[in-house]
Amino acid sequence: MQKGHFESHSLKFFLAIFALMLAAANLRGGLVVIGPLVADIRASLDISAAAFGFLMTLPLLCFAGFSLIVPWVANRLAPMQVVAISLLVLAIGAIARVFGDYSMMVAGTLVLGAGIAVLNVLIPSLVKGLFPGQASWLTGVYTLVLTTCAAFSFYSAIPLRDYFGDWHAPMYIWAALPLLALVVWLPMLKVSFKPAAPTNVSSSVWRLPRAWSLAFFMGLQSVQFYVLATWLPRIFMDAGLSDSESGLMTAVFTVIGVPAALMTPVIAAKLRTQHPIIFIITLFGLIGVGGLWVAPAEGRYLWVVCLGLYGGSSLSLALALIAMKSHDMRQATALSAMVQGFGYFLASFAPSLFGALYDWQQDWLLPIAVLIALLFAQAIAGWPIASAGKVDELA
């Protein structure tokens, strides 16, 4: 087993985890906070459903593009420095989104997405490099942080808007949090850490079939998450729920994913193959998305519970497989960049396309039918990487 950087320093170990997870807390909330505010933002900025969907599409394009340069940057700058710079960039983008018109929100979202893109790739790699002996359960904690912050963002958006009388109010929190995370991260700049010296393990993963399996699995689960994060409140509002109750349902969707996100990597690490997990994930997804098609309001609690279990475990498994299927941090960084770059590119147009489908049909039946088909595609895509062995080994 590889030796962890902080394993002999218990206090530093926990402080490093706290700093890393506080940085991770910025990776979803600032993006999904606009979901429950869809009616306010569209009315205030006078934009279409497709234009609103573009605000979710743009960060995913950033994830796809900027993810690919992370291995190059990580080889030239200390990883701790890259995290600090990314948090600063993220803060600048989040602040810019609060002011101005739609064009300013687009520009801020572009900068925000660039900062998040780098952290998306680097944090799972740092988990592998700094804490190799704890990579499985820390991946669960990392995913737990993502889902918890997304849930808080969903749940608090409408109450904060109502309390302050301004739909910008929830966004102020997500502009301040990266600055706090940056302050907490500053002591980490003193940590002398470099990835292990190169081995005979190749960091070139683009020609590996199982890497593409993971990329498509990651991409298709991202399609589901970002479409639901963007349009689930609207689906429930169109089914007759108030905007506050719709926001609550979306928050439940993310909260329910927390225990699934925490436990999935631990269970996955104990299994020779992860095929049973993929089967169960798909089943939960089909129940949840299928329920939205049949009776969105009547069975809403069951649907969001199933969607939450699907979403939390699906994302957590994808991130865990990056660490589990790579030999070392360098290969993990390359695999993370390739998987998240291509995966988010696959997901990048989904919110806008689903918004356009809704604008065309003025109904959610066709978009939901597409989501059901993509659940089957995700299961098929993930089957090879869920087999035994590393990413560069035959199943």
How does pLDDT run across 46-91, given as a tens digit for each residue? 888 778 878 877 888 888 888 888 888 877 888 889 999 999 999 9
What DSSP state is assigned to residue 75?
Answer: T
Portion of the chain with pLDDT greater than 90, in percent: 36
Query: Is 1 part of any domain?
Result: no
Place of tokens 């979306």: 250
Average pLDDT score, the chain: 86
Query: Is 391 part of any domain?
Result: no
Task: Give the number of other Cβ atoms within 10 Å of residue 7's Cβ.
Answer: 14
H-helix or E-strand spanning residue 198? none
Contact 73, 118 (CB under 8 A): yes
Query: Is 75 part of any domain?
Result: yes
Q: What are the tokens at 193?
A: 């850490």
Place of tokens 């989904």: 350
- Interval 234-244: pLDDT, tens: 899 998 888 77
Phi, psi of 117 (to 5 degrees): -55, -45
Count of the separate structural domains present in the chain? 1
Q: Of 382, 386, 135, 133, which is closest to residue 272 (Cα–Cα)? A: 386
Query: Is 395 part of any domain?
Result: no
Higher pLDDT, 289 or 245: 289
Give CA–CA dist 339/333, Å, rounded.
10
Higher pLDDT, 134 or 299: 299
SS3 190: helix
Per-residue confidence (pLDDT) for residue 38, from 0 to 100: 82
Query: Is 393 part of any domain?
Result: no
Contact 262, 143 (CB under 8 A): yes
Distance of CA 207 to the CA centre of its chain: 25
Place of tokens 């206090």: 11
**Mean of the pLDDT values across residues 248-261?**
83
With a cut of 70, say whether residue 365 has pLDDT above it.
Answer: yes
Domain that holds residue 183: 10-195+206-382
Query: Is 5 part of any domain?
Result: no
Distance of CA 53 to the CA centre of its chain: 17
Per-residue confidence (pLDDT) for residue 394, from 0 to 100: 66
Contact 304, 256 (CB under 8 A): yes
Query: Is 201 part of any domain?
Result: no
The letter for the amino acid at 210 is R
Per-residue confidence (pLDDT) for residue 1, from 0 to 100: 41
Helical segments of the chain, H only: 10-24, 29-32, 38-45, 49-67, 70-74, 79-98, 102-130, 135-164, 169-185, 209-238, 243-255, 257-270, 275-294, 300-324, 329-348, 350-361, 365-382
With a cut of 90, say whether residue 393 has pLDDT above it.
Answer: no
Give CA–CA dist 375/209, Å, rounded.
20
> For residue 215, what is the domain's CATH number?
1.20.1250.20
Q: Which of 156-170, 292-306, 351-365 has the lowest mean pLDDT?
A: 351-365
Query: Is 92 part of any domain?
Result: yes
With a cut of 80, say whether residue 157 has pLDDT above it.
Answer: yes
Contact 247, 305 (CB under 8 A): no
